Structure 1
């Protein structure tokens, strides 16, 4: 068997595989001999069927199968030995007048080659690494929410200051009809809150959406409309009150602190705020890290320039799935998946150049921490090591879970690498400012 390669260009190649009779003849004869031993054909004893009849009945199918096995085995071996980094799978070139009656065959396969490129993690960019702080306003608001949550609810007929109102926002023209609950202090203008004072269940309040809240994303939530629809929205909506609730606030005393965190863990309002700040900023860190990872990913895709064998990939996409695609469908799929493919290549190079690998111990350690956090959420603060490792063993015996956790471990390794290597400005922001940055509304 002879295999040769013609590099069409830097991203495309054609591999020619020449198969001679002596490459497959012995295997075909052995398979046909086995067929002959077991063949049951009327008029012949088992094992005594003439080989010519076996050859006539099964010869072509066996030939095709054995030649195909040879092709696959030797082509894969060739790709490994030549260290060819290919995209997709080799595509056989269709030969209209291919003749299986010959004894020697020639097959051609198209290859899409992975591009050569460099990744500069330290390149100049406009990336920002956010540190979200729980400011005094957030802490005070959270303490107030705790007092309301653990206080007593009092049903009211008439709206008074400090009450919550539930009802339906509606605007027929815009298709808005959404039930929500509001605290009167969430409105941007105190005049809006005053419009509710004295209203009763069943009353309707008409409001203008423009400037209704300090943050348009709050408007997006209460009206149940999309992010693109909410900006600049300047319409009238009605709010039909269907429930009014007053609150008798819980006292900020030891009884409440113990109920929240256990006996004597927190003993003052200052310690309560410190605990809220610690917990909130830990959650904020995860959100900030995810945004940084996403931003670096997008930046690398945009700035790491290389060509792809697009024509080859579109042809490959047509045949890669369970159901063949039309050229038009393949074009659409390629457009959707191109950035994902580019990042896969970038990520692979970054991992190789920085020797990022996942060991069994990495995976086990990460899974152990995940399990402990989940158990803590259900009140098991001090589980035994035996219990934890028992769950870890069960999780790691599930291949789908191992794949999912492995991706999370690698994301964590990539994030730490990016924090170390990627040049980014540090910016301390409140959570509200971070949300605006998420939607591109906060200047760096």
Structure 2
């Protein structure tokens, strides 16, 4: 793993020194604030002598005075650092004349851009074949398939749907659970052990799967079903919203070609960003990564998880994507700044068209009314910076 120099780190840990005289000077101000609200027997509220307040609340006054001076120091630091998180006080120690305060905070790291002309990348162009179109249509037919029970003496075949009673046993042979499950008998999808165990089996047969920890599962076949696919004709095409079969094939090809283009561009752009990051790695701020992760989780449809491990794996994937998206944005924002990239409304409209907005002009107008114009403009600048990068790097096109 590459060593990241201090200036390209997001997490900063600093030790600041505060003279005790500074605290003593501040204690008088704090004591005056205390005087306004503390109540001391024998004195009206706000009228107790300062000397008595200092004596009675010495520890609290000293603590508040120190906090106040630390806040002033942090204000000064914000002029030097682009602080994006809360500043956390990790430790306070004192010697004869000073307090040493250890603080921690996050900043936008220093992002360096290498000579883009020296970066070499590959761009894969994915071609859509007749086989790709046929496979897509076949999956569509499966969605409209009718299921029929097979004869009881027929053996299981590829692509069958099996209704089975599944029993879980612990290592001592005790039954833990029993439930009915559906199994899609497909070699590329099913667990290899279960797939092999079910070969040549019929209704009424049972198979047993043993695990390394001594537990086991038993599957008893209750029913075998086969899919009856609809005929591939104009009627089927019309069921899916097309005029006829030829139009369906053409529209599906166009859809697959568009998806292939999006995939190609995404991989190409990701490769460029990865190359830049490899040359000058930096530490993405945790705060920005968490914000990006939360935005992604909020805006995507979450799948149904079979167990906690699946959920955890999905969350890690989203977190990794958020991590990379922060790296991408920081790199491109640095290029925007270095090249003083600007965009006008016409360029923003082109950006919105590229993004797939149905009515770019309406979207642009609404952004101005809703106070979202500047963020939209920033996104268009970043996209323009990315176009610039793609025009400069050395690209080798590979047709798949």
TM-score range, shorter chain: 0.5 to 0.7
Aligned to 1:243: 224
Counterpart mapping for 1:180-191 below 5 A: 180-182=183-185
| Structure 1 residue 166 corresponds to structure 2 residue 168 | no
Q: How many residues align?
A: 316
Q: Is the 8 A contact 2:124 2:264 kept in 1?
A: yes
CA, structure 1 residues 161+414, in 2 after alignment: closer, same or farther (shift >3 Å)?
Answer: farther
Q: Matches of residues 107-122 of structure 1 in structure 2 within 5 Å?
A: 117-122=112-117
SS at match of 2:31: helix
Contact residue 16 and residue 100 of structure 2 kept, 8 A = yes
What are the equivalent positions in structure 2 for 1:142-291 lying under 5 Å apart? 142-150=136-144, 152-157=146-151, 164-167=159-162, 180-182=183-185, 200-202=202-204, 242-253=223-234, 255-261=235-241, 266-267=243-244, 269-291=245-267
2:377 and 2:203 map into 1 onto residues whose CA distance is 54
In the alignment, the residues of structure 1 paired with residue 188 and residue 95 of structure 2 have an alpha-carbon distance, to the nearest angstrom, of 80
Structure-to-structure mapping, 1:42-441, within 5 angstroms: 42-77=41-76, 79-80=78-79, 83-84=80-81, 95-98=93-96, 105=98, 117-125=112-120, 127-150=121-144, 152-157=146-151, 164-167=159-162, 180-182=183-185, 200-202=202-204, 242-253=223-234, 255-261=235-241, 266-267=243-244, 269-304=245-280, 343=327, 346=331, 349-355=334-340, 416-429=387-400
Q: CA deviation at 1:44?
A: 2.7
Work out the CA distance in 2 between the residues paired with 1:35 and 1:279: 71
CA contact (8 A) 2:30 2:61 kept: yes
The structure-2 alpha-carbon separation of the partners of 1:13 and 1:271, relative to structure 1 and needing over 3 Å to count, comes to closer
Unaligned runs of 5+ in 2: 1-5, 169-180, 210-218, 286-318
From the superposition, tell whether residues 196 and 50 of structure 1 become closer, same or farther in structure 2 (CA, over 3 Å).
closer
CA contact (8 A) 1:119 1:346 kept: no
Number of the residue aligned with 2:31: 32
- TM (normalized to structure 2)? 0.55
Equivalence for 2:306: none
SS of 1:427 mapped into structure 2: strand
CA distance in 2, matches of 1:185, 1:46: 81
The 1:161/1:139 distance shift into structure 2, 3 A limit, reads farther
Deviation at 1:33, TM superposition (A): 3.0
Tell me the distance in 1 between the aligned counterparts of 2:189 and 2:273: 36
Cα deviation digits, residues 199-218 of structure 1 (max 9, x gap): 7445689xxxxxxxxxxxxx
In the alignment, structure 1 segments of 5+ residues that lack a partner are: 1-8, 100-104, 173-177, 206-222, 224-237, 314-335, 373-381, 397-401, 430-444
- State the shift of 1:369 in Å: 6.6
Between the aligned partners of 2:22 and 2:229, the Cα distance in structure 1 is 93
CA–CA distance in structure 1, aligned partners of residues 39 and 54 of structure 2 = 14
Asked if the contact 1:257/1:272 (under 8 Å) is kept, the reply is yes
In the alignment, the residues of structure 2 paired with residue 78 and residue 278 of structure 1 have an alpha-carbon distance, to the nearest angstrom, of 55
Alpha-carbon deviation of 1:39?
2.8
Shift of 1:277: 1.1
CA drift of 1:69 comes to 2.6
CA-based RMSD of the aligned residues comes to 5.9
Instruction: Note closer, same or farther for the CA distance 1:163–1:32 as it changes in structure 2 (3 Å cut).
Output: closer
How many Å separate the matches in 2 of 1:347 and 1:145? 40
Secondary structure at the residue paired with 2:161? strand
1-structure distance, mates of 2:270, 2:220 = 38
Summarize deviations over 1:351-404 as a string: whole Å, max 9, x none: 4324468999969x86997886xxxxxxxxx9xx79x979x969x7xxxxx99x
- Displacement of 1:350 in angstroms is 3.4
- Structure 2 distance, partners of 1:425, 1:23, is 64
Distance 1:369 1:14, change over 3 A: closer
